């Protein structure tokens, strides 16, 4: 039995939506802190003598929780309070990262501790990211989803520009361990913003709903995700692309420091410049979608974000190092832009009361391949070298993006509108290449269609 969302007053327009402003602001600060850690943690690991293998283990630890917790986390989200779960996740992240400077101050910090800290941060991300879509759906009007997604992704991309540079500078000024304090504070600010949100709270579940078992809910999420042609394609293609991207990003800092002879400060600058592409992609995505149609926009943006990844592995010392931010920026422009379009579609297409478990099911594949990519890259990096491994992984990413030409939306102008649990829309989607005949994307345990929730939502 599925928990019905609470009936609430209509959300105000985005320009006057206080709750969305709080969610957006907290996310911006949190991402800024996380982007500093993106530079700080690998640099700290290298300073402790990490090899390519250790770098692979460190990156894998961040993403491993998705493989283990992604499915049950989606079920927990759908029968609980998204906002409270996100607050708890932020507090967990702050506690975990605070242990690193503490261990450094006590003189006991080592690589195993960094791996455990990365693992704890990964658990935090699973809980926070799985709950985020459902909360945003409850706070934002359906017609504002593209604009809301554009602001969220745009701000994340802006923080990805500022964060790495700030992280590199902090490492030089105070050292790697103390630089992590910035991320600790960012988690606390995010938790405070979430605590101040008034809306988006689900109706208290009936006793039989509270006792609903996680297993059937997980199976329902899998059926919905892999029973719909669009959601299934997003999931599988995302997993393949993330495997490759994580593989080359695992060795990127090591490659810059040891092969290209960059300093920690310049590493932050190069990563920041590479992140500008994501900011541009987030800004132009809605406009491109309106101009070309949502399906064509997805096709163009994904293809644009593929081949430039090869530029990263072709970089060299001196002026050749600028190929790293150039390739990264072009990849980010295409992939972040595609994420904005895909996120808005998913929020409308999936019923709100199924969004958590379908997000969890997709995340197991999308993010579950990332620790595997990190471990493979770490092993290959030690055997054949960082440059060769980066080129190989970039090539795999190119293949994954080119596969978009075979996607269900490759010949469409727009992705289907409406809701997955609307029989009329389901027939329309089937006629246009969406839900497969005989496999209603709703198929819950016992053949029951999932309940229709309120208007839907988001990443």
Q: What is the pLDDT of residues 221-256, one digit of tens each?
A: 888 888 889 999 999 999 999 999 988 888 898 899
The residue ranges of the chain whose pLDDT is under 70 are 1-10, 160, 164-165, 200-212, 421-459
Q: Which helix (H) or strand (E) holds 441?
A: none
Whole-number pLDDT of residue 453: 36
Residues 6+ apart with CB under 8 A from 168: 39, 43, 264, 265, 266, 267, 268, 269, 271
Q: Helix 229-250 crosses helix 323-349 at what angle (to 10 degrees)?
A: 150
Within a 13 Å sphere around the CA of 271, how many CA atoms are in the beta-carbon half?
A: 32
**Length of the chain in residues, anyone?**
459
Decide: helix, strand or coil at residue 21.
Answer: helix
Whole-number pLDDT of residue 412: 92
Whole-number pLDDT of residue 200: 63
Residues 6+ apart with CB under 8 A from 453: 4, 5, 351, 352, 353, 354, 355
Extents of the domains making up the chain: 17-201+211-447
CA atoms of 381 and 53, how far apart (whole Å): 7
Q: Which two tokens stand for residue 448?
A: 């029951």
Buried b (16+ CB within 10 A) or exposed e, 45-64: bbeeebebebbbbbbbbbbb
Q: Are 456 and 350 in contact (CB under 8 A)?
A: yes
Whole-number pLDDT of residue 4: 45
CA atoms of 89 and 407, how far apart (whole Å): 35
CA dihedral angle for residue 295, residue 243, residue 161, residue 84, rounded to 10 degrees? 80
Closest CA to 275 of 384, 167, 158, 191: 158
pTM: 0.68
Q: Using CA of residue 255, residue 257, residue 258, residue 261, what is the dihedral sign? A: positive
Q: Are 195 and 185 in contact (CB under 8 A)?
A: no
Pick the CATH number of 17-201+211-447 from 2.170.130.10, 3.40.50.2300, 1.20.1250.20, 3.40.50.720: 1.20.1250.20
Q: Are 248 and 377 in contact (CB under 8 A)?
A: yes
CA atoms of 118 and 112, how far apart (whole Å): 10
Whole-number pLDDT of residue 48: 87
Q: Which two tokens stand for residue 377?
A: 């890259």
pLDDT digits (tens, 9 = 90+) for 335-380: 989 988 888 888 888 887 787 788 778 888 888 888 888 889 988 9
């Amino acid at each position: 039995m599925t928990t019905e969302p609470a009936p609430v007053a209509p959300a105000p327009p985005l320009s006057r939506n206080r709750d969305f402003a709080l969610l957006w602001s907290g996310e911006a600060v949190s991402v800024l802190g996380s982007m500093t850690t993106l530079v700080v943690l690998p640099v700290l690991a290298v300073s402790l003598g990490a090899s390519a293998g250790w770098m692979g283990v460190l990156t894998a630890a961040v993403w491993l929780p998705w493989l283990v917790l992604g499915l049950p986390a989606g079920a927990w989200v759908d029968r609980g309070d998204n906002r409270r779960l996100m607050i708890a996740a932020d507090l967990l992240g702050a506690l975990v990262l605070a242990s690193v400077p503490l261990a450094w101050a006590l003189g006991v910090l080592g690589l195993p501790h960094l791996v455990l800290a990365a693992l704890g941060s990964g658990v935090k991300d699973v809980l926070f990211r799985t709950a985020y879509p459902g909360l945003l759906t409850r706070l934002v009007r359906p017609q504002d989803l593209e604009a809301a997604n554009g602001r969220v992704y745009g701000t994340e991309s802006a923080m990805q520009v500022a964060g790495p540079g700030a992280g590199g500078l902090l490492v030089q000024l105070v050292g790697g361990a103390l630089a992590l304090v910035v991320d600790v504070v960012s988690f606390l600010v995010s938790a405070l913003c979430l605590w101040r949100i008034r809306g988006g709270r689900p109706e208290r579940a009936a006793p039989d709903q509270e006792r609903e078992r996680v297993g059937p809910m997980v199976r329902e999420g899998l059926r919905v995700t892999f029973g719909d042609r669009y959601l299934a394609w997003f999931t599988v293609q995302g997993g393949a692309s993330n495997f490759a991207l994580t593989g080359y990003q695992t060795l990127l800092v090591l490659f810059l420091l040891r092969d290209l002879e960059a300093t920690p400060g310049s590493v932050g600058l190069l990563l920041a410049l590479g992140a500008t592409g994501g900011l541009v992609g987030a800004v132009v995505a809605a406009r491109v979608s309106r101009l070309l149609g949502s399906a064509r926009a997805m096709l163009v943006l994904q293809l644009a974000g593929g081949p430039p990844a090869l530029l990263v592995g072709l970089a060299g010392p001196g002026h050749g190092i600028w190929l790293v931010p150039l390739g990264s920026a072009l990849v980010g422009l295409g992939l972040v832009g595609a994420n904005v379009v895909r996120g808005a579609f998913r929020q409308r297409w999936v019923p709100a009361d199924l969004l958590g478990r379908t997000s969890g099911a997709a995340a197991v594949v999308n993010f579950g391949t990332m620790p595997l990519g990190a471990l493979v890259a770490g092993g290959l990096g030690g055997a054949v070298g960082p440059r060769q491994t980066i080129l190989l992984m970039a090539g795999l990413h190119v293949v994954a993006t080119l596969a978009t030409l075979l996607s269900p939306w490759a010949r469409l102008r727009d992705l289907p509108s409406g809701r997955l649990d609307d029989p009329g829309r389901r027939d329309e989607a089937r006629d246009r290449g969406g839900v497969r005949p005989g496999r209603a994307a709703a198929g819950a345990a016992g053949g029951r269609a999932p309940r229709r929730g309120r208007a839907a939502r988001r990443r």
